[in-house]
Amino acid sequence: MSAAAACLWTAWATLAVLAMVFWLTFNVGRARARFKIDAPAMDGPPAFQSVLRVHANTVEQLVLFLPALWLCAVFYSDRFAALCAAVWIAGRILYAVGYYRDPAKRGPGFGIALLATVLLIGASVRALLVA
């Protein structure tokens, strides 16, 4: 089996993550149009700031999530990594919807996504320790 085929599930999961981030980016563009906020302005009404923060926080989380995802896929399990990616995506969507409605409701989605990232890091560390 080729190295690429060994991580097929994670490759598909990564594409799903990118699609979700694209959706969040699109939401920022729509919010800019709705609230008439031209780039590079980053301030506006609370509803605009919520959309912007969801996108920014997700991009910030990608810095931890993507390396953890691929380390887990390569050294532990492709399918486990992909499953964690699905959980992470669900958490980020829940985070976004909660934040859009009321910033105080972002916690559950954040926690779910964080749990997925922690599981990926833990599985990677475990696999590397026994390698």
**pLDDT tens readout for residues 11-50:** 999 999 999 999 999 999 999 999 999 999 999 999 999 9
* Residue 107 φ then ψ, to 5°: -55, -50
Q: What would the two tokens of residue 93 be?
A: 């969507």
Q: What is the pLDDT of residue 131?
A: 87
Q: Bin 39: left if φ > 0, else alpha if -120 < ψ < 50, else beta.
A: beta
Q: What is the pLDDT of residue 11?
A: 97
pLDDT class of 57 with cuts at 50, 70, 90: very high
Q: How is residue 31 annotated by DSSP?
A: H
- Where are the chain's structural domains? 3-130
Q: What is the pLDDT of residue 86?
A: 99
Please give the Cα distance from 62 to 28 (Å, whole number): 17
Place of tokens 């989605």: 109
Please give the Cα distance from 23 to 110 (Å, whole number): 17
Q: What is the pLDDT of residue 1?
A: 65
What integer is the mean pLDDT of 46-60? Answer: 98
**pLDDT tens readout for residues 64-121:** 999 999 999 999 999 999 999 999 999 999 999 999 999 999 999 999 999 999 999 9
Q: Is the CB of residue 95 less than 8 Å from the CB of residue 77? A: no
Please give the Cα distance from 106 to 108 (Å, whole number): 6
Fold for 3-130, please state it: Four Helix Bundle (Hemerythrin (Met), subunit A) (1.20.120)
Q: Is the CB of residue 70 less than 8 Å from the CB of residue 113? A: no
